[in-house]
């Protein structure tokens, strides 16, 4: 689904990511760990094609096509969707409007919103004055309307309260499985267990692992992928030894 | 074009002629003119209006009140009918303010008188249209609006010209009196043409516990428009809001804003403007003068430059006492790339994203306005955008 080869990304002339190789196969969900400032957000922004994140080397392929130089909206149209860590506010554009932009039909908008308890925000300006948790739900809702094949989540659960975390966790799970919220009670076990969509989820806490079956985790350290492995094992490793271990891994790799 | 206002030679415009017959049914207005009026917010069906006043050049072509408790007249008839009205003429506006007020004092061509009697509430807005039809004409009107004690009055004024008019001058003297506990909203939509010079001169007097909401929208070309409508809050606990939405294409020069004197305890005022230039010159002014402790006032001035134009924001706060709260927020620039790209990530092309953001930028929710009127304003902006973007 997504193949990244030897990617090097610069932000304002400074190298932020280097030697990134990453493959997310169809139907698989990958986790991305890494300390603050290690480049996780930058990697997702580069995959999405944001102009501040300049690919100076390597390439990004999606569904077999080289998308390294495609404009953002064409990547979106091909089926990449992203939930942002810090989305901009847009004055005068209502949540209702942006959901339609994302592809929701008039009569779907309210149903989608009620899934993540967001009905009362439909006539608010997008992200204007939203709390941290509200931003997460708004982002998720937009992805639900977009229904992409590759879902990029940038810390979807950070700062979310205990009650909402299961709401968000489950919504992400269903989104990854391509099951629309309304239908989930009726679908068969087989439908539930066969995933076509792929995911890449940035998390610090790993709470999302309680809701989503993740196949693999990568640790980003200082702009490089330090290691790869079972998500729970890596999470355990990080919580016991901290990211300090990654330095050793990186050194080993480079030897 | 020079950055300063061009000198306007009032003498070169014609003050005679411009007579037109009275029209009973607005549908008899030629389709072209109707279209121009509709773009200025006029409802030709009159269904959702509590009264209508239409003046073309120097003639009152239609004048009707449709609700008890309200009154819509031309100013000459009103002055004949009400002796006391003379006290209100030139009470708020000083006829010696400038050459335009002097001109209007010297030669005047009607104007409207709109009043809500004590306690009356307009179900629908009253509409007034000031229309320029004849080339090179000067239309000097004098309007008086009185919202009597405890009344609620909503007015939409549409100012426009016939489609191919290449030159004209509009001078509008307006005096608004918002009495104790009354609520007046005045929404002015301008739809001029490239060669027209416009000089409104408006003063509002707001009494205790009264509210005045002034909305001004101009989305289409005008040669030169300059105004600085001013409100004096003479009673305690008044609320005043000025909202302006200004768009200038190349060749347009608009110098507009609002000024509010907060003179009594508990008064609140807000001036909000959204300006876009696609090549024209905008001077967006705002001036709040707080004279007593405890007043609150806020000014917000946002501008987008989408072409070779100029936006000159001049927000002024003038505190003349201790213990008052005044603030302002001003920003002029281009659309944030981040916002465009965010919408692109949702599937829009760059152009589509830009136009969504521009539309959002102009989409101001005006507090205290009845939903129906807000809808009218949204509609006017949508129509204007279609013509424009
Ligand atoms: N626009 C920018 N201008 C300057 N530096 C930037 C910019 N964007 C990112 N960076 C820098 O790039 C590095 C990686 O940032 P990034 O946001 O990708 O980190 P992250 O791994 O997502 O961190 P966090 O866990 O805190 O979200 C940081 O040092 C950051 O300061
Ligand atoms: Mg980040």
Residues of A with Cβ-Cβ distance to B362 under 8 angstroms: 92
Q: Do B344 and A72 touch (CB under 8 A)?
A: yes
- CA-nearest residue of chain A to B378? A92
Please judge whether A88 and B339 are an interchain contact, meaning their C-beta atoms are less than 8 angstroms apart: yes
Cβ neighbours of A146 in B, within 8 Å: 346-347
Q: What is the pLDDT of residue B387?
A: 63
Q: Which of A13, A34, A40 to mutate to test the pocket of ligand 1 (most atoms within 8 A of CB)?
A: A40
Confidence of residue B1 (pLDDT cuts 50, 70, 90): very low
**Is B158 found in the same domain as B128?**
yes
pLDDT at A162: 87
Query: In the predicted model, is pLDDT for residue A184 greater than 60?
Result: no
Interface A:B, Cβ pairs < 8 A: 67
**Cβ pair B165, B198 in contact under 8 A:** no
pTM here? 0.86
Number of Cβ within 10 Å of residue B54's Cβ equals 26
pLDDT tens-digit series, residues B267-298? 999 999 999 999 999 999 999 999 999 999 99
CA distance B282 to B262: 26
Residues B255, B351 within the same domain = no
- Does the residue B1 lie in any domain? no
Instruction: Give which of B50, B385, B21, B27 is closest to B218, Cα–Cα.
Output: B385
Q: Which chain B residues are within 8 Å of A51, Cβ to Cβ?
A: 337, 341
Do B103 and B123 lie in one domain? The reply is yes
Chain B residue numbers with beta carbons less than 8 Å from the beta carbon of A102 are 346-347
Full set of structural domains in chain A with CATH: 2-254 (3.40.50.300)
pLDDT of residue B5: 54
CA distance B72 to A249: 84
Evaluate whether residue B198 is within a structural domain. Answer: yes
pLDDT score of A191: 53
User: If we measure between CA atoms, which residue out of B175, B318, B303 comes closest to residue B259?
Assistant: B318
In a domain, B6, yes or no: no
Position A91 pLDDT exceeds 70: yes
CA distance B332 to B142: 35
pLDDT of residue A243: 85
On chain A, the residues whose CB falls within 8 A of the CB of B360 are 90-93, 97, 125
Asked whether residue B5 is assigned to any structural domain, the reply reads no
Range of the domain at B380: 335-389
Q: Measure the CA–CA gap between A164 and A211, rounded to whole angstroms.
A: 12
Residues B186, B78, single domain; the answer is yes
**Mean pLDDT computed over every residue of chain A:** 90
Q: Is A73–B338 a contact, with Cβ atoms under 8 angstroms apart?
A: no
Q: Which of A93, A99, A139 to mutate to test the interface with B (most CBs of B within 10 A)?
A: A93
Distance from CA of B363 to the nearest CA of A (A): 5
Cα(A165) to centroid of ligand 2, in Å?
19
Are B142 and B226 in the same domain?
yes
In this predicted structure, which of A184-198, A222-236, B263-277, B361-375 has the lowest mean pLDDT? A184-198
pLDDT beyond 70 at A186: no
Given B289, B316, B332, which residue is the final one in a domain? Answer: B332
Q: Could you tell me what percent of chain B has a pLDDT over 70?
A: 97
The pLDDT of A78-103, averaged and rounded, is 96
The verdict on B308 and B342 lying in the same domain is no
Q: Which whole-number Å values give the CA distances from B145 to A42, B54, B88, B139, B174, in the listed order?
A: 59, 15, 10, 19, 8
Residue B108 has pLDDT above 70, yes or no: yes
Which tokens is B70 given?
């309200």
pLDDT of B200-235, one tens digit each? 999 999 999 999 999 999 999 999 999 999 999 999
Are both B301 and B238 inside the same structural domain? Answer: yes
Q: What is the pLDDT of residue B2?
A: 40
In total, how many domains does chain B have? 2
CA A53 to ligand 1 center in whole angstroms: 10
pLDDT of res. B374 = 82
Of B341, B348, B361, nearest to A91 by CB-CB distance is B361
User: Do both B160 and B250 map to the same domain?
Assistant: yes
Same domain, B84 and B181: yes
Q: How far, in Å, are B20, B58, B75, B76, B113 from residue B79 at the CA level?
A: 22, 17, 6, 5, 9
> Is B327 found in the same domain as B241?
yes
pLDDT > 90? residue B52: yes
Residue B306 sits in the same domain as residue B354: no
- What would the mean pLDDT of A204-216 be, rounded to a whole number? 93
B221 or A247: which leads in pLDDT: B221
Residue B81 lies in a domain: yes
The pLDDT, as a whole number, for residue A194 is 56
Q: Is the CB of A36 under 6 A from ligand 1?
A: yes
Stretch B346-351: mean pLDDT: 96
Best mutation target, B302, B304, B339, B342, to test chain A (most A CBs within 10 A): B342
| Structure confidence by residue, pLDDT tens digits, B137-184 | 999 999 999 999 999 999 999 999 998 899 999 999 999 999 999 999
- Most B CBs within 10 Å, among A81, A92, A149, to test the B interface: A92
Residue of B nearest to A75 (CA): B345
Parallel/antiparallel/unpaired status of strands A224-229 and A216-221: antiparallel
Q: Do B348 and B233 share a domain, yes or no? A: no
* Helix %, strand %, coil % of chain B (to 5): 20, 45, 40
- Is residue B307 very low, low, confident or very high in pLDDT (cuts 50, 70, 90)? confident
> Would strands B268-277 and B112-116 be described as parallel, antiparallel, or unpaired?
unpaired
Tell me if B145 is assigned to some domain.
yes
A203 lines ligand 1 (CB under 6 A): no
Has residue A241 got a pLDDT over 90? no
């Amino acid at each position: 689904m997504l193949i990244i080869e030897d990617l090097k990304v610069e932000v304002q002339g400074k190298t932020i990511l280097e030697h990134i190789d990453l493959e997310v196969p169809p139907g698989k969900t990958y986790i991305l760990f890494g300390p603050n400032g290690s480049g996780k957000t930058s990697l997702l922004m580069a995959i999405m094609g944001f102009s501040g994140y300049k690919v100076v080397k390597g390439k990004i392929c999606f569904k077999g096509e080289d998308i390294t130089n495609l404009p953002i909206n064409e990547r979106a149209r091909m089926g990449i969707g992203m939930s942002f860590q810090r989305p901009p506010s847009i004055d005068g554009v209502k949540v209702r409007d942006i959901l339609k932009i994302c592809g929701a039909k008039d009569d779907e908008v309210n149903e989608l919103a009620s899934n993540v308890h967001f009905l009362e925000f439909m006539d608010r300006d997008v992200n204007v004055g939203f709390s941290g948790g509200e931003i997460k739900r708004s982002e998720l809702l937009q992805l639900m309307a977009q229904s992409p094949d590759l879902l990029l989540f940038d810390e979807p659960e950070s700062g979310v309260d205990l009650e909402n975390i299961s709401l968000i966790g489950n919504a992400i799970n269903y989104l990854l499985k391509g099951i629309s919220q309304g239908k989930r009670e009726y679908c068969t076990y087989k439908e539930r267990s066969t995933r076509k969509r792929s995911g890449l989820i940035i998390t610090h806490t790993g709470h999302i692992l309680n809701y989503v079956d993740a196949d693999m985790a990568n640790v980003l350290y200082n702009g490089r992928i330090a290691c790869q492995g079972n998500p729970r094992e890596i999470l355990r490793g990080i919580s016991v030894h901290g990211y300090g271990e990654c330095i050793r891994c990186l050194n080993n790799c480079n030897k | 074009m020079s950055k300063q206002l061009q000198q306007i030679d009032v003498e070169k415009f014609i003050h005679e002629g411009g007579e037109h017959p009275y029209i009973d049914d607005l549908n008899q207005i030629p389709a072209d003119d109707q279209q121009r009026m509709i773009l200025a917010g006029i409802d030709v069906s009159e269904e959702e209006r509590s009264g209508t006043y239409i003046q073309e050049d120097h003639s009152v072509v239609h004048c009707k009140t449709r609700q008890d408790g309200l009154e819509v007249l031309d100013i000459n008839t009103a002055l004949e009918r009400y002796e006391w009205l003379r006290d209100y003429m030139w009470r708020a506006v000083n006829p010696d303010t400038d050459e335009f007020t002097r001109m209007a004092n010297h030669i005047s061509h009607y104007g409207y008188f709109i009043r809500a009697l004590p306690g009356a509430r307009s179900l629908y807005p009253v509409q007034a249209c000031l229309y320029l039809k004849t080339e090179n004409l000067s239309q000097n009107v004098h309007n008086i609006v009185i919202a009597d004690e405890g009344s609620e009055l909503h007015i939409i004024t549409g100012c426009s010209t016939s489609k191919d008019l290449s030159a004209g001058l509009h001078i509008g003297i307006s005096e608004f009196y918002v009495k104790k506990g009354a609520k007046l909203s005045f929404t002015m939509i301008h739809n001029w043409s490239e060669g027209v010079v416009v000089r409104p001169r408006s003063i509002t007097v707001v009494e205790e516990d009264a509210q005045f909401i002034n909305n001004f929208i101009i989305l289409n070309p005008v040669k030169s428009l300059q105004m600085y409508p001013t409100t004096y809050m003479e009673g305690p606990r008044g609320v005043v809001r000025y909202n302006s939405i200004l768009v200038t294409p190349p060749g347009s020069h608009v110098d507009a804003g609002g000024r509010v004197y907060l003179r009594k305890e508990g008064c609140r005022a807000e001036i909000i403007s959204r300006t876009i230039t696609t090549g024209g010159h905008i001077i967006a002014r705002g001036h709040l003068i707080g004279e007593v402790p405890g007043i609150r006032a806020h000014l917000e001035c946002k501008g987008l430059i989408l072409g070779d134009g100029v936006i000159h924001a001049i927000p002024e706060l003038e505190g003349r006492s201790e213990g008052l709260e005044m603030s302002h927020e001003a920003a002029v620039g281009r659309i944030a790339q981040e916002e465009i790209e965010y919408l692109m990530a949702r599937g829009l092309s760059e152009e589509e994203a830009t136009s969504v953001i521009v539309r959002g930028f102009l989409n101001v929710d005006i507090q205290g306005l009845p939903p129906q009127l807000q809808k009218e304003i949204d509609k006017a902006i949508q129509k204007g955008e279609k013509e424009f973007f």
